[in-house]
Structure 1
Amino acid sequence: MKNVGGLDRGLRIIVGLVLIALAATGTVGWWGWLGVVPLLTGLIGGCPAYSLLGVNTCPVSKKN
């Protein structure tokens, strides 16, 4: 189920890519690879944590 809206998705993708790039270049430690999580949730459009907390930033899903 999609629960991540447009702006939220875009920010997640950007943050994920930046963290991964920083980790790949050695600028930050291993934790930069955690950028995979926001990247994947942004690409998929669903966030398990949002589901648990009852959050939904996707306007299309709110109508259903």
Structure 2
Amino acid sequence: MQANVGTLDRAMRVIAGVVLIAATLLGFIGAWGWIGLVFIATGLLRFCPAYLPFGMSTCKTPDSK
């Protein structure tokens, strides 16, 4: 597994995941809010399998300084 989730993408995923889980626990949204666990996991692991078929990566390349 090569990292394909960059720094800003990671932060946004973790924040979105926490917000979704909090909204579920507080009763604002239904059980679908537990999908936030996927956002948190992909943010912490720095790997998103949905990016693979498209060849996407939000990581900085060594040449982009």
Fold equivalence (TM over 0.5)? yes
Show structure 1 runs of 4+ deviating over 6 A: none
Q: Give how far 1:25 is off.
A: 1.2
Determine if the alignment matches structure 1 residue 7 to structure 2 residue 8.
yes
Structure 1 runs not aligned, ≥5 long: none
* Alignment partner, residue 25 of structure 1: 26
- Number of equivalent positions: 61
Structure 2 runs not aligned, ≥5 long: none
Deviations 1:17-61 (A, max 9, x none): 0000111111100111111111110011000001121100011xx
Percent of paired sites with the same residue: 49
TM-score, normalised to structure 1's length? 0.88
Task: Map 1:36-55 onto structure 2 (within 5 A).
Answer: 36-55=37-56
Query: Counterparts of 1:6 and 1:51 in 2: how far apart (Å)?
Result: 18
Query: Counterparts of 1:30 and 1:53 in 2: how far apart (Å)?
Result: 29
Which secondary structure state, in structure 2, belongs to the residue aligned with residue 58 of structure 1?
A: coil
The alignment yields a C-alpha RMSD, in angstroms, of 0.9
- Amino acid in structure 1 at the alignment position of 2:23: L
- Amino acid in structure 1 at the alignment position of 2:21: I
